[in-house]
A and B are shown apart, each in its own frame.
Chain A
Amino acid sequence: MINLLLLPIILPFFFAIILLFFKEKIQIQRALTLIGLVISFIASVVLMSVVKDNGVQSLTLGSWPAPFGITMVSDMVSVLLVTTSIVITFFIVMYSFISIGKERERFYYYPSVLFLLTGVNGAFTTGDIFNMFVFFEVLLMASYVLIVLGGEKKQLRESIKYILVNVISSALFVATIALLYSVIGTVNMADISVKITEIGQPGIITVIAVLFLLVFGIKGALFPLYFWLPGSYAAPPMPVLALFGALLTKVGIYAITRTYTLFFIHDLSVTHELLYVLSILTILAGCIGALAYFDLKHIMIYNIVIAVGVILFGVALMNESGMTGAMFYLIHDMIIKGALFLLIGIIIAITGTSNLRQMGGLMKTHAPLGWMYLIAAFGLAGIPPLSGFTGKLLIVKGAFEAGHVWGSIIILASSLIVLLSVIRIFIYAFWGEPVELKTTNRRAYRKMIIPATVLVVLSIVYGVGSEWFVPYMSDASKVLLNPSLYIDAVLKE
């Protein structure tokens, strides 16, 4: 079964097409979406075990030899991200059954989610820089649909900004690939890496590296380029926000990680120093935003920005602890952001507002929600047995090894601010005098809390069982730190 590594991309795509036939039949759409995601999940788990046993898997489409066809590469990094994306999408889809509303479901909501997943999984798996652009567009098109679907005033306004920013960054992406192609003469990522090593990264390649950082920085919300994110992410309904928060910026992070560990590794003092400085600034900007707002959505959205900074800080260190930590933290962040967005979505659904000052006393009426939120909040901040701890510990360890003492102090201080920002939500929403709640449907509430709870439990398992995941994460960082593993798997030399 040599096509196994394509199944997590093809299956969501296939089910998205099938869903187009059942526009008005919501029940069939829901059932097919869940079935499709379960099958994709099984395929990705099988793929993960194959990658674990046999190393990097690669396949060049159309039986062409390696640098000439489009190569798809599945190493531990990509297969971990693909599996996590499918799991999170599954729970968000379950949550959508209750919270998204019939009107949106009738207008291709589920096909859009599956097309988004197709694009995300494709971008994680591809081994061809132009194909990565195409998959970026697939996921962006689907995200345009999701952000504007429903047609509220706020959504229309923010989707214009979102589309404008992304169209510009996509154009820049094409221009950068064109520049790279004119210098190197290939778009196959393994081949690019070989050719750059041959010419020893002259100045023009470093310029291209910075341009890539600009492109992926816009997608992944890096410091001066994150300006579009808070407004755009606050506009769509909660499940869409959870999907975006958990998946979209991570594609940008993955792309930066891939290009900065595979291509641009010969002039670390320029490229990686820049990445290092920008990631620190990203953390600081995110911290300021997370403390500044009294709005649930905005606090969480700025926490996305902080996490982007932390992960890229780990990547910029280019040593084993840092890279392993970054991988740990990346997966953790996808799970925990999914869980937290679903939980604050429930809080907003119960209280009918996202303003912290207008809520209180939920602990008396919704105790399980409170405890789940508290656990997720501690997990986000990195309290030891929970999931955020291992990743951040390894990143800080890597930073001390690399001699970046100030960087690690900022990472540690940022954890405190993350904790403060999410605990503030807990204190305002769950403690204090109960406010007058509009009567809510308890059954809907119970159905919404199930997927959120399962995600929180997953994050607990991920934190408590870090030991089980260590081999996977160190495999991932090994591939990232030794590009030759990747190149040999693709070019089969």
Chain B
Amino acid sequence: MKTNDVILQTGTKVVFFIIFLFSIHIFFAGHFAPGGGFVGGLLTTAAIVLLLLAFDLKTVQKALPFNFMIVVAIGLLLALGTAAGSIIFNVPFFTHAFGDFYLPLFGESALHTAMIFDAGVYLVVVGSTITMIQTIGGDS
């Protein structure tokens, strides 16, 4: 019997975006400050778990219509692809490339392929934790 969780739901709608943005911040900060793909992924999961607590499983699945096993697979492919790109250039596996680039909006930025690897980690963490929670929480 769910009666009146207006405050919880309204609060969640605001707080979700704050947590999500913070997780993205943590993800991008990983190279020079504490953070990275793993905690970033866990924080995103935490945001989604908050949604799950405030609403029910079906609503959240409608809002985020991904198959999270596929998210895991894409994350693994990203990570493996970044590491295996070195095979094409005939340098040892996992050799990263980096450099300074001028981007239109951000100006002078240092880009590093380690970030793509981290994005893979991020997707694997989000995908696997959400799969666990959905599987334990769901009836099917």
Q: Which residues of A contact B (CB under 8 A)?
A: 1-3, 6, 10, 13-14, 17-18, 20-21, 23, 59-63, 72
> Are B70 and A21 in contact (CB-based, < 8 A)?
yes
> Are B73 and A59 in contact (CB-based, < 8 A)?
no
Instruction: Report which of B72, B77, B92 forms a contact with A60, defined as CB distance below 8 A.
Output: B92
Say whether, besides A3-B87, A17-B80, A63 and B73 are in contact (CB < 8 Å): no
Known interface pairs A10-B80, A20-B69, A59-B93; 17 further A-B residue pairs with C-beta atoms within 8 A, sorted by A's residue number:
A2-B90, A2-B91, A2-B92, A3-B86, A3-B87, A3-B93, A10-B84, A13-B80, A17-B73, A18-B73, A20-B70, A20-B72, A60-B92, A61-B93, A61-B94, A62-B96, A72-B93
Interface range on chain B (Cβ under 8 Å from partner)? 10 to 19
Which chain A residues border B77 with CB–CB below 8 Å?
17
CB-based nearest B residue for A7: B87
A-B contact pairs, 28 of them (CB 8 A): A2-B90, A2-B91, A2-B92, A3-B87, A3-B90, A3-B92, A3-B93, A6-B93, A10-B84, A10-B93, A13-B80, A14-B80, A14-B84, A17-B80, A20-B70, A20-B73, A21-B70, A21-B73, A23-B69, A59-B92, A59-B93, A60-B92, A61-B95, A62-B93, A62-B94, A62-B96, A63-B91, A72-B93
Determine if B42 is an interface residue (Cβ-Cβ < 8 Å): no
CB-based nearest B residue for A16: B76
CB-based nearest B residue for A10: B84
Q: Tell me the interface secondary structure of chain A in the complex.
A: helix
CA distance A254 to B90 in the complex (A): 30
Q: Nearest 9 pairs between A and B by C-beta? A: A20-B73, A61-B94, A62-B94, A63-B95, A17-B76, A3-B87, A63-B92, A3-B93, A6-B93
CA distance A1 to B90 in the complex (A): 6
Which chain A residues border B91 with CB–CB below 8 Å?
2, 63
Task: Give, as a whole number of angstroms, the nearest-CB distance from A103 to chain B.
Answer: 15
Task: Give, as a whole number of angstroms, the nearest-CB distance from B3 to chain A.
Answer: 38
Max chain A CB contacts within 10 Å: which of B72, B91, B92? B92
CA distance A10 to B95 in the complex (A): 15
Which chain A residues border B96 with CB–CB below 8 Å?
62
Instruction: Report which of A10, A18, A62 forms a contact with B92, defined as CB distance below 8 A.
Output: A62
Which chain B residues border A10 with CB–CB below 8 Å?
80, 84, 93
CB-based nearest B residue for A70: B94
Which chain B residues border A17 with CB–CB below 8 Å?
73, 76-77, 80
CA distance A20 to B69 in the complex (A): 7
Which chain A residues border B84 with CB–CB below 8 Å?
10, 14
CA distance A60 to B95 in the complex (A): 10
Which chain B residues border A18 with CB–CB below 8 Å?
73
Which chain B residues border A2 with CB–CB below 8 Å?
90-92
CA distance A11 to B94 in the complex (A): 15
Task: Give, as a whole number of angstroms, the nearest-CB distance from B112 to chain A.
Answer: 13
CB-based nearest A residue for B67: A23
CB-based nearest A residue for B81: A14
Interface residues of B in 87-123 (CB under 8 A from A): 87, 90-96
CA distance A17 to B123 in the complex (A): 14
Interface residues of B in 52-83 (CB under 8 A from A): 69-70, 72-73, 76-77, 80
CA distance A14 to B77 in the complex (A): 8
CB-based nearest A residue for B72: A20
Which chain A residues border B80 with CB–CB below 8 Å?
10, 13-14, 17
Which chain B residues border A62 with CB–CB below 8 Å?
92-96
Task: Give, as a whole number of angstroms, the nearest-CB distance from B66 to chain A.
Answer: 13
CB-based nearest B residue for A17: B76
Which chain B residues border A23 with CB–CB below 8 Å?
69
Which chain A residues border B93 with CB–CB below 8 Å?
3, 6, 10, 59, 61-62, 72
Task: Give, as a whole number of angstroms, the nearest-CB distance from B74 to chain A.
Answer: 9
Interface string of B27-61 (1 = CB under 8 A from A): 00000000000000000000000000000000000
CB-based nearest A residue for B86: A3
CA distance A62 to B82 in the complex (A): 12
CA distance A61 to B96 in the complex (A): 10
> Are A61 and B92 in contact (CB-based, < 8 A)?
yes
CA distance A116 to B23 in the complex (A): 32
